[in-house]
Structure 1
Amino acid sequence: MEVINKMVTILPNMQVLKVVEETKALRGKRPADEESENLNTLLHETAAYFKDTPASAQKDEHVIKLNQELQPYKLTIAETVQILNLRPSTAVEVQLVVEECEERIRTEEELEALVKESMRQDEAPFLDQWFMGFADSKVLTEGRREELFDDMNQNEEESRCFGSQKFVSTIHQCFNASEKQDIPEQALT
């Protein structure tokens, strides 16, 4: 294989995952030699990594929509892709991604708006998949599991936002309770 143009574009994690899955499907169950075995391992490990990230739930529409919403900020392609991949949830994280942020994004309100734009994508499938794995563990009793999901459904907007303080707080409380095999009542309110 020969690399013809090594810097054509930067790809979002979502597109890398798509290419990896397509390559795995095309390769199928070919007889393994040492070289193809290494490639199969690389494809498997890469896909496994990206399936545990928001990239597994993102769609092309998300990329297009976020790109349109970030147009007023005049970000470079690299900055836009970093925002898509990293999903900054604080102003500090945005400042680390956007070069010369203080000069380009002048007010705190603009910076907060950019954070909200990056967090607004629909991540529900990713969160549902991640949380279901946790909820299926022995930590939650059947009744508590349903209470927690009912509470999350009532606060749908918060549960869709991975950076939501209440959602993250609930998850931390649940993980801390895993040692006791019970969930504190305040985690369900």
Structure 2
Amino acid sequence: MEAAVETFDLTKVFESKEDDVKRYVKAVDHVNIRVKRGEFFGLLGPNGAGKTTLIKMLCTIILPTEGTAKVNGYDIIKEPDKVRSCIGWFHGETGGRSLYWRLSAEDNLKFYAYLQNVPKDVAEKRINALLEFFDLSKERKKLVKDYSTGMKVRVMLARALLHNPPILFMDEPTIG
């Protein structure tokens, strides 16, 4: 059975320059993991351990320095668009910075449905179902900037699930 997520010596080194001195920080060091379809997998570690960096590489937000990975059978380097089409990504940062604050929850979800190529009729049904599920139906027209942190988190979760992805990455899901 093909893995849902598999990494092969995945490594990320960040370079910084301070006082004309280059420094290198190895955030992810030759990680090899295999997550089967249907499994839940958690990354645990202290701040700065590389958990977010690993997730960002798997979501094709940043490129690895070495190694590669496959997500749903697609190579994160050679097939980033295919990877993005089959994943949902939730980052529970406080404040909901990944949402458009001057849009309503409904308009945020319509926008992201468009970006994910969800057909309009399907998007409308999914948006209604997700807003109902996350108890946001009554607040659907309210601007996100006026939402509580908990409400913003629920909109971000709805956004991650909007296109019904087979794989969901959740970074700091308990924040908010």
TM-score by length of 2: 0.25
* Higher relative helix content: 1
Q: Tell which structure's C-alpha radius of gyration is larger.
A: 1
Higher fraction of strand: 2
TM-score scaled by structure 1? 0.24
